[in-house]
Chain A
């Protein structure tokens, strides 16, 4: 079945440093890859997503890269701030044209940014 592996499970950085979270997926038919940020007591919040026809996407301090051949995708956060501290989840889903909406999530990365 589908599986998404996520590393590391915890990541501690100093404010201003960069943080990188990596995910690997098993379903070669996956072509949509969102990243969510979840703060304590809240639901996951979409922060960035990428589709398989794009190799990289950037939004201010956040970027996502995708390597479909290796089935890897990564989240890059630059100039981290304490408010970036949260649990981050990667996810993958299949061809949106089939209407198949199931997201398969990674196990999450707890990011701690120290001032």
Chain B
């Protein structure tokens, strides 16, 4: 069974631009969560999607948003990029909301110049 896939793997943007990252969960998984990983702040929860609805959100500004499609694939968007948004963005999928086990993808490395 294929794991969680994320595209693109690497991205370079400049301040003020916006970016969209994509995540395809493990087949049969319906919940997708997003995390930001930085050397300074570690791994921080961004948001969780289930059945095309955002179910939970972390402490990030409104510039960070996401959505989930009917096939459970998810995208996250960051608008008006800032230098501090440079990070590894990780997507994790789990079978459903009652299942805790989350499986992570390889991440998208975003660099903001």
Residues of A within 8 A of B (CB): 32, 34, 36, 41-46, 49, 51, 89, 91, 93, 96-97, 99-108
Q: Is the beta-carbon distance between B100 and A34 smaller than 8 angstroms?
A: yes
Question: What is the CA–CA distance of A109 and B102 in the complex, to the nearest angstrom?
Answer: 20
Contacts A101-B31, A105-B42 given; does A43 touch B99 at CB 8 Å: no
Contacts A34-B100, A96-B98, A99-B98 given; does A43 touch B43 at CB 8 Å: no
B25 interface contact, C-beta 8 A: no
Q: How many residue pairs at the A-B interface have CB separations less than 8 Å?
A: 64
Report 14 cross-chain contacts, Cβ distance below 8 Å, ordered by A residue: A43-B104, A43-B107, A44-B90, A49-B100, A96-B99, A101-B33, A102-B45, A102-B48, A102-B56, A103-B35, A103-B102, A104-B45, A105-B43, A105-B44
Least Cβ–Cβ distance between A64 and chain B, in angstroms? 14
Number of residues of chain B lying within 8 A (CB) of chain A: 27
Q: Is the beta-carbon distance between B105 and A100 smaller than 8 angstroms?
A: no
8 residue pairs, one from A and one from B, having the closest CB atoms: A99-B97, A43-B104, A105-B43, A32-B100, A96-B100, A44-B104, A43-B106, A102-B45
Nearest A residue to B42 via CB reads: A107
User: Which listed residue (A43, A106, A107) contacts B90, Cβ 8 A?
Assistant: A43
Nearest B residue to A99 via CB reads: B97
